[in-house]
Amino acid sequence: MNDPRYRRVLIKLSGESLLGNEAYGIDPKVTSRLARELGELVARGVQVALVIGGGNIFRGAGLAAAGMDRVTGDHMGMLATVMNALALQDALERAGVFSRVMSAIKINQVCEDYIRRRAIRHLEKGRVVIFAAGTGNPFFTTDSAASLRAVEINADIMLKATKVDGVYSADPVKDPAAVRYRRLTYDEVIERKLNVMDATAIVMCRDQNMPIMVFDITREGGLVGAVEGRDIGTVVERG
Ligand code: UDP
């Protein structure tokens, strides 16, 4: 095993990454595996924060397309992220890893409110901090919340967990000639409309010089490899 390259990381997990083999909701096998891998990082001295999405349960845009008021739909989407955060916290605690859920909307009989200084204190004490409810505002995504929190807590890098091992020149499923980019600049991602995160999130990372690594979380050991800084994904950084 190599030494961790990063001291403090912010991991963005989509809600869909909790689906596993389920069509809806949360697969407990996935949360257990994630808890084990996150515990491994903590045991190696890495400070771990997570932002979790809610797309496995509700997305505001989808609810709006079905006729619901968009802001109400976004409130439901943010509450979905709280449910995912609680499920992950439960799996972490069963794996013997201390954690705290901090929500951007007040729901403090269920979890803590987000307070930046307190979040940093938890990290320093070796607790995994799960940021829930996105930014707390409608019309944003949890990708934007992830870039915001990564900057706020002075993370060394934002690790964007996906189902593919990086950003490709074309869809690798459809085009066998597609190649994985090892490194991209923020402007290349924006100009070529590459599917890394939404534009708000990328611009925030660019303006605050927060590097991003896109990596495959579904592969066993993918998370540890990303934190060791191995060449297993795509890094987006300044040119
Ligand atoms: N959401 C929001 N504001 C935020 C973050 C999320 O309103 O700051 C809502 C929005 O409706 C979004 C849903 O929560 O669709 C779930 O988040 P997201 O779609 O980012 O989840 P993911 O795609 O990562 O699973």
Q: Which residue has the tokens 């590459």?
A: 194
| SS3 of residue 239 by DSSP | coil
Give the Cα separation of 99 and 90 in Å (integer).
Answer: 9
| Residues at CB less than 6 angstroms from ligand 1 | 14-16, 53-55, 59-61, 73-74, 77-78, 80-81, 134-135, 137-138, 140-145
- The CA-atom distances, in angstroms, between 19 and each of 5, 14, 28, 94, 123 are 29, 10, 9, 19, 27
Q: What is the mean pLDDT of residues 196-211?
A: 96
Ligand 1, from 17, 50, 74, 143: best to mutate by most atoms within 8 Å of Cβ?
74
Q: Which atom of ligand 1 is nearest to the CA of 16?
A: 25
- Residue 225's CB is within 10 A of a number of other CB atoms, namely 18
Q: Report whether 26 contacts 162 (CB < 8 A).
A: no
Express each pLDDT in 88-147 by its tens digit: 999 999 999 999 999 999 999 999 999 999 999 999 999 999 999 999 999 999 999 999
Predicted structure pTM score: 0.97
- The strand pairing partners of 129, in sequence order, are 49, 100
Q: Which atom of ligand 1 is nearest to the CA of 56?
A: 25
C-alpha closest to that of 102 among 129, 136, 142, 63: 129
Q: Which residue has the tokens 């999130």?
A: 201
Q: Which atom of ligand 1 is nearest to the CA of 12?
A: 24
Express each pLDDT in 3-27 by its tens digit: 899 999 999 999 999 999 888 999 9
Give the Cα separation of 133 and 106 in Å (integer).
Answer: 9
